[in-house]
Each structure stands twice: as C-alpha cells, then as structure tokens.
Amino acid sequence: MPAPTTIDPDTELSAVNTILGAIGQAPITTLDYDSATDTGAFENPEIAFIYNIFKECNVDVQNEGWHFNKEEYVKKEPDANKEILVGNNILRMDFHDPGNRDHDIIIKSDNGVKKLYDKLEVNSTSNTPFEFDDEIYVDIVYLYEFVDVPSVFQRYITYKAAARAATQLVGNSTLVQLLTVQEQNARANCMEYECNQGDHSFFGHPRENTYHSYKPYKSLRR
C-alpha cells in the first residue's frame, strides 16, 4: 500500500502551487529559492515571476499593520553613535505619541543601512537628522515570514497574489473577477480575525484606557 501524501497548506511552496493552479498551470514539487537566507534562483522564469508577485503581496498585506505584526510603545535607544538602526524585518515605525512635535521620524537609508531619520533636524542648527539624544517610544509594523503569519492571512496573501498573477499573466477578465471575489472573501475573514484578536475599543485599550468625556467648561476656559 503506497504511503499517503502529506500536504502542508502553510508553506511558500503550497502558496505558489495555489497561484499556479489558479491560472491553469501545473504545480511544482520544490522551490529553489530560500526566502529565509535570500539565496537561490529559479530556472523557470514564470515561476520566478509568480514567486515575486507572491512576495510583493506578502509585503503589501503586512504593511497595513495588523494586530499580529504591530507592536506599540516599543522602547528604542540610540547606539554609541546616537543613531537608531532599523532592522530589515521592520516595515514601518512611528512615534507612539501622535502629539509629539519635537520629532518627525521616517526610515531612511544611510549608505545602505536603514536608520531612523528626523525630518525636523534637517533645517535645525545642528543638522543631525540621524542622531537622537534620548530614548524614544515607537509603534512598529514588522514583516514576518509567510510561515509565521496566521493562516487566515496566508489565505488572503495567496488569493491576492493569484488575482494579481491572473491579471498580469493570463488576461482573462472572467478569471480575474472570480479570483477577486475570492480575495475579497479572504480579506473579510482577516477583518473578522482582526476584530476578535485585537479587542479594539475607542477607550484606548490596553493603554490610555481612560475615556475623557466632553466637559463644557473646557470650551469656556481661555
């Protein structure tokens, strides 16, 4: 009796095969590219193109900042050069306090190294936009490997990539519409996951969870 075939639905290989199946192409048995080490090459240019679409969609989805890949109030301290380096697994970073007017930070490359850059320091007397004197608290959106993403988002990334691949490689409007509907359903599932896991509230849970109601005397105070 032959051994049963084991199918792992939560790998990059299975995602690429789902995309291939969506556009009517045969599946592959292995990926020559290792995303963890960023090494390898594809012999088939079509597979390389589809894998690139898949990686783009993975970044696009995670870049929105969901409950699973966003951390708030993260402490960052400058190094010996007064600089705050940014890892390659960070998509976005911003001050936790939106009312902060002393800094306006973005991520910028300095000789190939990503660092925090203060736009308000460019025209200052010191003109040291990469330097920070004190620790800061930021909100960070991380980029995770596909296998570390919750399954509901894996489906969304895969279906989004399938719709994009059909648009660019097949050009069948009916197929694109069907895959787009599948993508929209997957996004709805992601929104449900986000609401259930995030426990979002206008009270500011889990921090700043004191609701300050409107007080008339504040309008009269001058």
Q: How many domains does the chain have?
A: 2
Q: What are phi and psi of 107, to 5 degrees?
A: -95, 125
Which structural domain, as residue segments, surrounds residue 115? Answer: 70-142
Residue-averaged pLDDT of the chain: 85
The model's pLDDT over 97-134, given as tens digits with 9 standing for 90+, comes to 776 777 788 999 988 899 999 888 876 667 788 989 88
d(CA 120, CA 103): 6
The model's pLDDT over 179-211, given as tens digits with 9 standing for 90+, comes to 999 999 999 999 999 999 987 776 655 555 555
159: helix, strand or coil: helix
The answer as to whether 92 is a domain residue is: yes
The answer as to whether 52 is a domain residue is: yes
Q: What are phi and psi of 39, to 5 degrees?
A: -130, 160
134 & 81 share domain: yes
59 & 81 share domain: no
The answer as to whether 216 is a domain residue is: no
138 & 151 share domain: no
80 & 182 share domain: no
Last residue within a domain, chosen from 123, 142, 161: 142
99 & 87 share domain: yes
* CB neighbour list of residue 218: distance below 8 Å, 6 or more residues apart: none
Closest CA to 84 of 65, 103, 63: 103
Q: What are phi and psi of 47, to 5 degrees?
A: -65, -40
The predicted structure's pLDDT at residue 37: 57
151 & 135 share domain: no
What percent of the chain is predicted at pLDDT more than 70? 80
- Which DSSP letter does residue 46 get? H
Residue 187 identity (one-letter amino acid): R
